[in-house]
Structure 1
Amino acid sequence: MMPDLPVWAAAVIAFLLIVAGFFALTGSLGLLRLPDFYSRIHAPTLANTLAAFCLVVAILVAASFEQHRFVAHSLLVSFFLIITSPVTAMLLMRAAIKRQLRHELEEKNKALK
Structure 2
Amino acid sequence: MLEITLTVLILIGAIFTFIGSLGLARMPDFYTRLHGPTKATTIGVGSLLIASMIHFSTQEAGLSFHEVLVTLFLFITAPVSAHLLSKAALHLRTRSLSEPPPLVDATDHAGRNSPDSLS
TM-score bucket (shorter structure): 0.7 to 0.9
* Matched pairs, number: 94
Normalized against structure 1, the TM-score is what? 0.77
Residues 48 and 85, structure 1, Cα contact 8 Å, conserved in 2: no
Structure 1 residue ranges, 4+ long, deviating more than 4 angstroms after superposition:
none
User: Which digits, 9 at most, give the CA deviation of each residue in 1:52-87, with x for residues without a partner?
Assistant: 210111011101111133222211111001111111
Residues 23 and 48, structure 1, Cα contact 8 Å, conserved in 2: yes
Residues 13 and 48, structure 2, Cα contact 8 Å, conserved in 1: yes
1:58 matched to 2:51? The reply is: yes
Normalized against structure 2, the TM-score is what? 0.73
Distance 1:71 1:30 in 2: 32
> What is the match of residue 109 of structure 1?
none
- Percent pairwise identity: 37
1:80 matched to 2:86? The reply is: no
> What is the match of residue 39 of structure 1?
32
Q: Using CA pairs below 8 Å that are at least 6 residues apart, which structure has the higher relative contact order?
A: 1
Specify the code of the residue in structure 2 equivalent to 1:69: G
- Secondary structure of 2:62's match? coil
Distance 1:36 1:71 in 2: 40
**Which structure features the higher share of helix residues?**
1
Residues 16 and 58, structure 1, Cα contact 8 Å, conserved in 2: yes
- How far off is 1:41 after superposition? 1.1
Distance 2:66 2:33 in 1: 32
Residues 19 and 41, structure 2, Cα contact 8 Å, conserved in 1: no
- Rg larger in 1 or in 2? 2
Distance 2:7 2:61 in 1: 19
Unaligned runs of 5+ in 1: 1-7, 102-113
